[in-house]
Amino acid sequence: MATREALTVLAPQDLTTLRYLGGALILGLYLLATKQGLSLKRRDMPRMLAVGACGYAGYGLLIGLGQTTVPAGTTSLLLNISPVFAFILGYFVLVERTTALGYLGMLVAVLGVVTITLGDTNATGFNGNALLIVGAALLLSIFLIVQQPLFARVPPVEIVFWGCAVGGLATLPLATFQTTSANISASFWVAIVVLVVLSTVLGYSFWNVTLARTSVAEGGSLLLVVPIISVLLGWLVLGEVPTVAAIIGGSAALVGVVMLSRATSRREQAGPGLLTGAIPVIGVLTGAIPLIGLPLVREDRADLTVTADDIDDLHEIATEAAQAVGSQLVTVSLWRPDSADLVRVYSSRPHVYQVGGISTDLGGDWLQQCVLDQRSYLADGGGGIHADAFEHSDGLDSLELAAAVNAVVADEGEFLGCINFLDAEGAYSEASLAVADQFAPRLIPVLRHLRMEQPEPVV
C-alpha cells in the first residue's frame, strides 16, 4: 500500500534506492549508538552480497515495477507463492520429497496464482506486470535459503544493515530521482516513512530475529498473514476493491501453501532429482551459496533401512545443528562395530555425498580419540581435514571445505556414531566444538534405532 503511494512520485528504481539506503542509514546509526561492532567476516561477504542482491535489490525493483499497475492486495497474494518456490528448489536441488498432501498443496497454490494473474486484466489484455511480482516471490525464496546460515555468525539486525546497504548501492546507478516538488504531498512522506522505518528497518529486523530462532519453513510461514492484511488495507485505505479472481485465486493460494506447510515436516530425501540426475549437480544447499558442476563422490554404499520417522528426526536435528554451528555440509554417520566402519545415514548434500556411503579407512588417531576415548574431533586447516578419517578429501577440496567438527554420539560408554560439520578454513574453533556437542546427544535414540534396523554387514 505504501509502495503504491510512493510510486505516484518516484520511479520504481528511485524508490528502491531510497528505501534501502534510508534503512541502512537508520540501522547504521542504531548499531553505532548501541556500540555494536560489525561481525561480518570476509568469508561471509559473498553470501551477504547474494542476500543483498536477491532479498533487497532484486526483490525491491521487481516489487516496485510490478506495483505500478498491480494492486497492493493482489501483489501480496502473489508473493505468498514464495514457500512453493522454496519447495520446488528443494525438490530439484536438495532432492527433498514430500507427501501426497504436499504435492496437492503445491498444485492448488500454483492454480491460485494462475487465477490471480490471468484474472488481473485491463482494457489492453493481460497484465504482464503480475509476472514481475511472481519473479519477486522467486527471489524471496532464494533469499531465505541463502541467508539462513549467516544467523550462526552474524546478528540478525546487522544482516539487515548489510542487506540494505548492498541493495541500495546496487540500485543506485539506476536511480534518476526525476520528480517535481508539485507532486510531493504529505501522504507521500508518510508512505516513505512507512516503507523505510516500518516495512524495512522494523519489518526486516523482526523477521530476521524470528528466522534466526526458527527455520526457513517456520519463519516463511509468517508470510501467510500478509496477504489478508494487505487486501484489507488496500480496500479500506486505497479503495482497491479485490476482484473476484483475486479473492478466489488468493484463497486457493493460501489453502495450498497451508497444505504444503503441514506436509513439510514429513519430507524425505529420495535420491537424485530431475535436475541433479540429468546434469552434473546444480546445488543450492540450505546454508550454501549455489554451486555448479560438483561431481558425485564414488564410494562403496550400504543398503540401509531408514524409516520416515528416522529421516524426519535426522533432518530436523541436523538442520538445527548446522544453523547453530555453521556448516556448508553436515552429515550423520552410524558406527558399525562388527565391521568397524562408519555408514552415512544423513547428508545435507546427497547429490555429492550420498546416504549409505561407507568410510572404512579411518585413521588410528581418529579411532583412538572418537571411538575409544569418545572425544569429539576438531580440524581447521593445517592438513587436519586430510587425515585418514576424511577419505574423500579431493571432494572436500572441490567444495573448498578445510574445517571440520566430528561431534561424538555416545551412550553409556558406547560409541554410536557422530554428526559431522564441514565449512571453509577458519570457520571452527573450540567454541564450535562445544556447540556441536550439545546436539550430539539428541541423536542417541535415532542411531540406536537405526543400528537395530540394519541387516548384518558382510565382512
Confidence of residue 75 (pLDDT cuts 50, 70, 90): low
Kindly state whether residues 203 and 338 are assigned to the same domain: no
Highest mean pLDDT among 18-27, 299-308, 383-392, 397-406: 18-27
Same domain assignment for residues 326 and 217: no
Count of the separate structural domains present in the chain:
2
What percentage of the chain reaches a pLDDT higher than 70? 64
Q: Of 6-10, 158-162, 213-217, 330-334, which range is least confident?
A: 213-217
For 373, the grid coordinates are 576415548
What pLDDT is stored for residue 117 in this prediction?
A: 55
Give the closest residue to 64 by CA, choosing from 138, 135, 157. 135
Residues 236 and 357 in one domain: no
Claim to verify: residue 258 and residue 307 sit in the same structural domain: no
Confirm whether 285 is domain-assigned: no
Q: How confident is the model at residue 168 (pLDDT cuts 50, 70, 90)?
A: very high
CATH number where 312 lies? 3.30.450.40
Q: Is 183 found in the same domain as 259? A: yes
pLDDT for 80 equals 64
Judgement on whether residues 321 and 363 belong to the same structural domain of the protein? yes
Q: Which residues, in sequence order, are CB contacts of 446 under 8 Å at separation 6+? A: 310, 313, 314, 317
Of 234, 269, 304, the residue that ends a domain is 269
Q: Residue 441's pLDDT band (boundaries 50, 70, 90)?
A: very high
Residues 74 and 187 in one domain: yes
Q: Does residue 283 form part of some domain?
A: no
Q: Between these two residues, 347 and 114, which has the higher pLDDT value?
A: 347
Do the domain assignments include residue 68?
yes
- Which is more confidently placed, 149 or 276? 149
Domain limits for position 305: 295-453
Residues 258 and 400 grouped into a single domain? no
Mean pLDDT in the chain? 74
Compute how many other C-beta atoms are within 10 angstroms of the C-beta atom of residue 432: 22
Contact 264, 102 (CB under 8 A): yes
Does residue 126 sit in the same domain as residue 33?
yes
Instruction: With beta carbons less than 8 A apart as the criterion, state whether 136 and 3 touch.
Output: no
Mean pLDDT calculated for residue range 306-323: 86
Q: What is the model's pLDDT at position 414?
A: 92
pLDDT higher at 130 or 55: 55
Q: Looking at the domain assignment, is residue 287 inside a domain?
A: no
Do both 241 and 363 map to the same domain?
Answer: no
Q: Which residues of 142-160 are buried (b: 16+ CB within 10 A; e: fewer)?
A: bbbbbbbbbbbebbbbbbb
Average pLDDT over residues 30-39: 86
Asked whether residue 49 is domain-assigned, the answer is yes
Q: What is the pLDDT of residue 103?
A: 72
Residues 262 and 319 in one domain: no
Same domain, 233 and 300: no
Q: Please state, for a pLDDT cut of 90, what percent of the chain lies above it.
A: 19
In a domain, 458, yes or no: no
**Which range (110-114, 164-168, 240-244, 385-389) has the least confidence?**
385-389
What pLDDT is recorded for position 417? Answer: 94
Phi and psi, residue 415, nearest 5°:
-80, 120
More confident residue, 222 or 203: 203
| Confidence category of residue 268, pLDDT binned at 50, 70, 90 | very low
Q: Between residues 377 and 390, which one has the greater pLDDT?
A: 377
Structure confidence at residue 186 as a pLDDT band (50, 70, 90) = confident
Q: Report d(CA 207, CA 214) in Å as an integer.
A: 11
Yes or no: say if 257 and 85 are a contact pair by the CB < 8 Å rule: no
Looking at the predicted structure, is the pLDDT value of residue 317 above 50?
Answer: yes
